[in-house]
């Protein structure tokens, strides 16, 4: 078990974008002051990157490539597959904070997916033990509403990173992925891209302020109409322009 000295930040990203993700975070940190910490290696196609910074902190909302922003407190490596609970509990017990939520997470890769069954089984066990320790508390009422989230990230089956995120400086979805279900009446799956962009890049007050019923917009290159459908659904009038045909389900609404 190794304590980190600089602040190590864990950033989840789409596999293949690890270098972009790390470089963007370092660029943001450099704007604040020079970065002198030694940078950890980036593992290609791993679905995450870590950056070590001295005093700088990062702003999640300004990062394009990072799906999630987590401050790492402990790394456990190797983590015995026979008993992951004991070392994790011991490491979490040493942290000064109390947490409002526990998220067990894996990389968004094929290897990561093989660990999902384990995290589903393990979640209630760890959660129960942390509640008994008083490390995890209900974060729904009164003064406790802004407790940090606790993340236990398994880069592989025999290591873990324990970290926390600030609910006001991070993604509000597990693994930083907004899960959208495909609306049956939308003309194309691309509708999900715009729905995700709205959720990721705009907070609720911006969504209400900037996407108001009765507004007018234009969609250039709109066919088959997935993006137009998102806007129409929000009561926005649309001029949809394309030299190809718009989807059948959109013709009555455009
Ligand atoms: C990737 S699709 C857009 C998908 C759309 N955003 C949706 O959500 O369904 C790009 C569209 O741009 C249109 N397009 C490209 N060049 C165009 C042009 N010069 N004039 C009009 N439409 C054009 C294509 O016909 C195509 O339908």
Locate the ligand 1 atom nearest the alpha carbon of residue 229 and give its number.
8
Q: What is the pLDDT of residue 18?
A: 98
223 close to ligand 1 (CB < 6 Angstrom)? yes
Residue with tokens 């806007």: 231
Given the CA of residue 228, which atom of ligand 1 is nearest to it? 8
Residue 137: partners with Cβ closer than 8 Å, 6 or more residues away: 98, 99, 100, 131, 144, 147
pLDDT value at residue 5? 58
d(CA 180, CA 61): 20
Ligand 1 near 7 CB (within 6 A): no
Q: What is the pTM of this model?
A: 0.83
The domain made up of 2-176 has a fold known as: VC0802-like (3.30.2130)
Tell the residue number behind the tokens 């950056």, with chain if given: 51
Q: Is the CB of 224 under 6 A from ligand 1?
A: yes
CA–CA separation, 71 vs 163, rounded Å?
A: 5
pLDDT tens string, the chain, 254 residues long: the values are 444 458 999 999 999 999 999 999 999 998 888 777 788 999 999 999 999 998 788 999 999 999 999 999 999 999 999 999 999 999 999 999 999 999 999 999 999 999 999 999 999 999 999 999 999 998 665 555 689 999 999 999 999 999 999 999 999 999 999 888 999 999 999 999 999 999 888 888 999 999 999 999 999 999 999 999 999 999 999 899 999 888 877 766 55
d(CA 85, CA 89): 6
Could you tell which of 189, 196, 221, 245 is best to mutate to test the pocket of ligand 1, judged by most ligand atoms within 8 Å of the CB? 221
- Measure 71 CA to ligand 1 centroid, in angstroms: 41
Residue 231 tokens read as 């806007």
247 lines ligand 1 (CB under 6 A): no
- Do residues 189 and 226 lie in contact, with contact meaning Cβ atoms separated by under 8 Å? yes
Ligand 1 midpoint to CA 186 (Å) = 16
Could you tell me where in the chain the CATH 3.30.2130.30 domains are found?
2-176
């Amino acid at each position: 078990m190794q304590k980190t000295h600089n602040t190590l930040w864990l950033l989840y990203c789409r596999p293949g974008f690890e270098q972009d993700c790390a470089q963007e975070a370092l660029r943001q940190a450099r704007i604040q002051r020079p970065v002198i910490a030694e940078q950890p290696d980036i593992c290609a196609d791993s679905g995450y990157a870590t950056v070590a910074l001295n005093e700088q902190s990062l702003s999640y909302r300004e990062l394009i490539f990072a799906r999630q922003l987590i401050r790492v407190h402990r790394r456990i490596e190797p983590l015995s597959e026979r008993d992951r609970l004991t070392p994790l509990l011991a490491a979490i017990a040493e942290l000064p904070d109390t947490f409002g939520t526990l998220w067990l997470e894996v990389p968004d890769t094929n290897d990561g997916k093989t660990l999902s069954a384990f995290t589903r089984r393990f979640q209630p066990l760890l959660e129960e033990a942390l509640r008994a320790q008083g490390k995890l508390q209900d974060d729904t009422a009164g003064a406790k509403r802004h407790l940090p989230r606790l993340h236990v990230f398994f880069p592989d089956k025999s290591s873990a990173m324990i970290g926390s995120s600030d609910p006001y400086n991070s993604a509000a979805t597990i693994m930083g992925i907004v899960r959208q279900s495909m609306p049956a009446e939308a003309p194309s799956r691309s509708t999900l891209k715009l729905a995700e962009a709205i959720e990721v890049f705009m907070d609720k007050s911006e969504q209400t302020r900037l996407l108001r019923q009765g507004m007018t917009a234009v969609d250039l290159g709109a066919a088959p109409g997935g993006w137009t459908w998102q806007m129409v659904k929000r009561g926005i009038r649309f001029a949809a322009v394309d030299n190809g045909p718009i989807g059948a389900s959109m013709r009555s609404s455009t």
